[in-house]
Amino acid sequence: MFKKLGVLLIIGLLVLVACGEEDQEPIESEEAASEETEQEEIGDHLLSEIQEAGEITVATSGTLIAASFYDDDDELTGYDVEVMKEIGERLGLDVQFEVMGIDSMLPAINSGRVDVAINDIEATDSRREQFNFSEPYKYSYSTMVVRESDYSGIHSLEDLEGKRAGGGATTIYSQIAEHFGAEVVTYGNASNEAYLSDVSNEQTDVVVNDYYLSTFGVAAFPDFDIMIHPDLKFHPTEQAIAMPEGEDELTEAINETLDEMREDGTLSELAINFYEEDASTEPEGEIEEIEGLDL
C-alpha cells in the first residue's frame, strides 16, 4: 500500500512538473515578443527623424582624392560625396557633411554625431554585425603603392613582412598589411600627399589601398618616386554607405535610391567622371583572394 502511494505521488509530481513547463512557455514567448518589439521601436526611427529635420548628416574625410576631397575652389567633392548629394536630392534632404578621419567615422555613427558615413568604406562581415550597410555603390580591389626605383623590395604579399605600411589604424588595408607582417604607421586624417611622400622618401615602404584611389593618388604627384605595383591585384572589395545597426527603413530608402541611380546611369556617369572608369560595376580579371584574413 505504501509502495503504491509512493508511486502515485511520484506520478503526480511528474504531471505537475510537466504542466508547469507547459504553462511557462506562453509567458516566455510573450516576453520575447515584447523585447523584439521594443528593440524594433528603439532601432528603426532614424529615417523619420531625418525626414522631419529635412537633412542628413554624413561623415567623410575630405582627404581622399577622387572619392572625398576639396577641389581648387575649396569645395568638397568626389565620387562618394556626389553620390551622397544625389541621394539627398532624390530623398528631398539637405546633406550636411562632417569632415573627420576614417578611424572616427564608425564611432561617430554609434554616438549619434552623424547619421551615416561614406568614405570608401568596405562592408565586411564583421562590420555588418555592428552596422547596417547600403548596397554597394562601388566595386574595386586592393593594390599597393611602392617605390618605382626598387618596388620597395615587394614582389608578393608575403614580402610585406617587416615593411612599414602607411595607413589608418582601423582600415581593412592596414589589417591586410599587418596580416602579412608589416608595421602600420598611422597618420590620422592626413592627405594623400603625406602617405605617398613618405613612401617616396623611404620613411615608409608601401601604402596598401584601393586600386582607384591609389591610381589617382600616384597621378597627382608625378615627381614622387612611386608607382602602382604592376603585378599585385588582391582582395576584391565592395564599398557601401554605413548606417546605425537596425535602421532598416533608412537602409531601404537609400537602397531604393541607389537602384534608381544605377538604372538611369547616374552611378556610372559619376564614377567615370571621377575615376575615368566605371567603378560602379565589378572589375574584370583575376583578383587574388586572401585566405585566413578575419575582417
pTM above threshold 0.85 = no
Which CATH architecture group holds 46-137+240-275? 3-Layer(aba) Sandwich (3.40)
Q: Are the C-beta atoms of residues 160 and 183 closer than 8 Å to each other? A: no
pLDDT at 43: 58
Q: Kindly give the pairing relationship between strand 242-244 and strand 131-133.
A: antiparallel
Look up the CATH number of domain 140-236: 3.40.190.10
Output the CA torsion 119→187→99→58 (10° steps): 30
pLDDT at 44: 80
pLDDT at 31: 43
Identity of the amino acid at 163: K
DSSP string covering 198-215, please? HHHTTSSSBEEEEHHHHH
pLDDT at 295: 65
Q: Where in the chain is the domain with CATH 3.40.190.10?
A: 46-137+240-275, 140-236
Compute the half-sphere exposure of residue 11: CA atoms within 13 Å on the CB side of its CA.
6
Q: Rounded distance, CA 295 to CA 285, Å?
A: 23
CB-based burial label for 66 (10 Å; 0-12, 13-18, 19+): buried
Q: Rounded distance, CA 228 to CA 120, Å?
A: 19
Task: Quote the radius of gyration of the chain (alpha carbons, Å).
Answer: 26
Q: What stretches of the chain show up as alpha helix (H) in DSSP?
A: 2-43, 46-53, 79-90, 102-111, 125-128, 172-179, 192-200, 211-219, 248-263, 266-275
Query: Would you write out the chain's pLDDT as a tens digit for each of its 295 residues?
Result: 433 334 333 334 333 333 333 333 343 444 444 434 443 444 589 999 999 999 999 999 999 989 999 999 999 999 999 999 999 999 999 999 999 999 899 999 999 999 999 999 999 999 999 999 999 999 999 999 999 999 999 999 999 999 999 988 888 899 999 999 999 999 878 888 999 999 999 999 999 999 999 998 999 999 999 999 999 999 999 999 999 999 999 999 999 999 999 999 999 999 999 999 999 999 988 999 998 877 6
Q: Kindly give the pairing relationship between strand 63-64 and strand 68-70.
A: antiparallel
Identity of the amino acid at 285: G
